Structure 1
Amino acid sequence: MKNRRLLSKYGIHLGVAILLAAAFNLSAAVADDQGLYIETVNRSKGLTGEAPREEISKTYVAYGKMKVASSDPQGTDMIIVPETGVLTFINDEAKQFYTIDTKGMMAGMSQPGIDQMRAMMEQTKVSVERTDETKQINDWNCRKYLVRKTGMMDIEQEVWATEDVDIDLEPFTNLMSMSGPDGLLGDSPAAKAQREEMDKIAGYPILTISKMQMMGANMETESEVKVIRQEPMPAAMFEVPEGYSEREMGPPGGQSAEQQSPH
């Protein structure tokens, strides 16, 4: 079984991951219309001026694509396609969408700019400690790992991972964070060291508790997987609905990219 790296909604803020920056693999083959459904409860507290929050994210994986659906009726869904390197953001209320072509973005950046961002990302040092502590969380037997990340941001994580399921979402998480060998992080010794350390986590993360400092405030996030199952999924679920208009600049909902805060 492959070991999995943790990113994005599994313990790290998705908006932050994108800014800093092949479908699923199951132990048995499934039909094309069979997909993987993951339901996760995300909790956060400590953000200045905000009350503790709890929301449910629903992730669908099929046809070599991933869709992360927002539980907020006014929120934005995201579709990730590793084969093309395109992220699509859809706002159903506004009937609008916009895309980020990560490959095109990389090609359009100057080499000095890429080198500068890569150098910043390579400052992150990662350490993973496997513990002997185990417990059952929901339907899965889990082991506790202690993760420490230092650099641009200091993050301490408590990760409970299970080997009861065999899921590989690495192509999607790599694209979201641009942390893979073809992304901003590249394949440098520092990048390899980060990935090798995270590979010490055996299995899939069920519960991830992250503590960090952001804007002078202590912030804590918690992501807990509640459901993992296979179910039929129509191909249309992973496409922009007919009649939606594309925004060339900025996300759906009327704000420019500069005005929108990651959430």
Structure 2
Amino acid sequence: MKHLSVCSARLVSLALAALLALVLAPSLALADDEGLFIETVNRRSGLSGEDPTEDVSHTLVAYGKMKVASTDPNGTDMILDPATGDMTFMNHGAKEFYTINAKGMMEGLSKPGMEQMRALMGQTKITVEPTDETREINGWNCRKYRVAKTGLMEIEQEIWAAEDLNLDLDRYTDLMRLSGPEGLLADSEAGRAQRAELEKIKGYPILTRSRMQLMGTTLETETEVRAIRREPMAATLFEVPADYQEREMGMPGAPTAGDAPSGHP
């Protein structure tokens, strides 16, 4: 299962990059064949034994689905379908894919291990501090927000959000993080408190810098949105190629964006 291990590790990184770029915002209506395209530069540093990295990912939204795609031909893509609860991960290098159903995962939340995870996530405290600092980034007027997350992990974020961008991708990010009212924390006091803080961030994040402590190492990530546009998209972009072989994940609590230290943005 070497290919699946590589795919899983890459997925967590890719999903983290995607989530760092998504927050609450007003709605956006799209025709079925009209898609939303977002290009993001993802930078990471601080991992032990690894040089700083930089890659580019594309987020595509159409036909009621979202795809987060690596620009590496041998990279990993993720397709989200909120209607079914399916999260499909494709390893292009190995021509393999596997699917995790979020709704099925939620059915197992009564197990003691999942109850413990829910309790741990409920301990996370999020504070968002809007500032008066503004700047133009890649053509968008942005405001700076300071975000602190304490509890299971210690994370500090600097988020520059453009308030005039009307994007609503919550149903996709909620699926990845199991964080909506029906998610891991459900409509609990902790869940409501976390969402209330994150709603203080107005608009769409164009630049997000994050610092976190991970096993004694300071991990730094940065996501920068370079392009947002609407364009026609083929339905086949959101399908698994016919010659890809399906694999079983084989691990309970498979890696999803909810496992990544991203919270909401």
Identify the TM-score tier after normalising by the shorter chain. 0.7 to 0.9
Q: Deviations over 1:10-50 (max 9, x none)?
A: 5659xxxxxxxxxx942xx4432110000000001111101
Counting helix residues as a fraction of each chain, which structure ranks higher? 2
Secondary structure class of the residue paired with 1:106: helix
Q: Any idea what the Cα deviations from partners look like across 1:140-195, whole Å, max 9, x if unmatched?
A: 00000000000011000000000121001111111111111111121101110000
Aligned to 2:123: 123
Q: Percent identity?
A: 62
1:136 is matched with 136
Amino acid at match of 2:41: V
| Pairs within 5 Å for 1:137-176 | 137-176=137-176
Specify every segment of 5 or more residues in structure 2 that has no aligned partner in the other structure, as ranges. Answer: 1-14, 261-265
| Alignment-mate amino acid for residue 174 of structure 1 | D
SS in 1 for 2:167: coil
**Which residue of structure 1 aligns with residue 99 of structure 2?**
99
**1:119 match: secondary structure:** helix
Task: State the 1:111 CA deviation.
Answer: 4.0
Corresponding residue for residue 245 of structure 1: 245
Report the CA distance shift for 1:30/1:107 in structure 2 as closer, same or farther (over 3 A). Answer: closer
TM-score, structure 2 length as denominator? 0.84
Tell me the TM-score normalised to structure 1 length.
0.84
**Secondary structure of residue in 2 paired with 1:67:** strand
- State the match for 1:211 in structure 2: 211
Aligned to 2:61: 61
Q: CA RMSD in A?
A: 2.3
1:9 to 12, 17, 21: 17
What CA deviation, in whole Å up to 9, does each residue of 1:118-145 have, x standing for no partner? 1110110000101000010002000000
Query: Unaligned 5+ residue runs, structure 1?
Result: 1-6, 14-23, 252-256
Task: Write the distance in 1 (CA, Å) between the matches of 2:175 and 2:30.
Answer: 24
**What residue number does 1:48 align with?**
48
The secondary structure found in structure 2 opposite 1:172 is helix
Partners of 2:226 and 2:219 lie apart in 1 by: 23
Question: Aligned to 1:120, what secondary structure does the other structure show?
Answer: helix
- The alpha-carbon distance between structure 1 residues 250 and 71, as it changes in their structure 2 partners (threshold 3 A), is farther
| 2:235 matches 1:224 | no
> Match of 2:216, as an amino acid?
G
